Structures are given as C-alpha cells and as structure tokens.
Amino acid sequence: GQRHNKNSTMDATKLPELWILRVVSLIVLVVLFQVCIARVPTIGHETKRRWQHALTGHALVQISYLLTRSTAIALLLMASIGMFVWKVFFFENFQQAFGPLLRTKEINGEQFLPGAFYFLLGTAVTLVIVGGNQDDDGVDNDQGW
C-alpha cells in the first residue's frame, strides 16, 4: 500500500529549520546508537548487528518522507564516500567506533569494505532507478523514496 504523508512538503516549505533538525536528529541518533550498541559487552555480536540494521533501515524510511530524491541520493553517496574514506584512511578510528559490529572478514581484510558501504550505495542506486518521495520540483508523490 501507499504511504500517506500530506504534511511532508508543507513542513519542508513552511518550517525548513524543523525539517533540517528532524533529518540531522535521525542521522545523529543512528550513529550514536551504532557506537553505543557496539560497546555493550553483554549483547551478542549478531544481536548487535541485527539491532543496528533494524534502526538504520527504520531511520532511512523516516528520512525518505522528508527529502527530495536528489537530496537523498546526494546524502547516500556522501555517506558511502565518507565510509570508504574513514575505513581506508582512518582504519584504527573506524575499527574503534564500529569494530564490534563488523564481521571478522570485514576486520581482517577478506572483505575490503563493510556491508554498510554496500547497503548505502545500493540504496542510492535503487533510488536512482526507482524514484522517490518528492520530485526535485518539490511535488510530493506520496510514495516514500
């Protein structure tokens, strides 16, 4: 079924500060959750990964109601590039932040980039192919990204 969100275009038009605050808040919450869940010693590795995937996916759905397609694509590509740079050039810092969420093959080099990189890039490619919530002219097509 289609999702209905009649206020997403109105919010973005009338209150850009609120719109920006909502997007930034969701992104910050996802990153904080990932870092915090990675450091909880009593939660199993795969459980941590599942919680992280669930929250990230949920946040992307929520953000999809707020962004135009071109903005979403740009942010997803920037996040992919950021993850690549962080992993390649600042590996120790990357591993400190996300190590407990990474699979062994992502840490030891069997898999060059973590699955999250491919998730972000794949979401951007899908959005390019499939379409989005708001056309770039700001018209809400009421279908999420």
The model's pLDDT over 7-35, given as tens digits with 9 standing for 90+, comes to 445 444 555 677 777 778 877 877 787 77
Q: 3-class SS at 134?
A: strand
Q: For 30-44, give one letter per residue: b (16+ CB within 10 A) or e.
A: beeebeebbeeeeee
- Give the integer Cα–Cα distance in Å for 45 and 118: 20
- Give the integer Cα–Cα distance in Å for 59 and 56: 5
Tokens standing for residue 52 = 């992280």
- Give the integer Cα–Cα distance in Å for 65 and 142: 8
For the chain, how many residues are written? 145
The model's pLDDT over 69-124, given as tens digits with 9 standing for 90+, comes to 888 888 889 989 998 998 889 888 888 877 777 888 888 777 788 888 888 898 88
Tokens standing for residue 92 = 């120790």
pTM, to two decimals: 0.63
CA torsion sign for 121, 122, 124, 125 is positive
- Give the integer Cα–Cα distance in Å for 70 and 126: 12
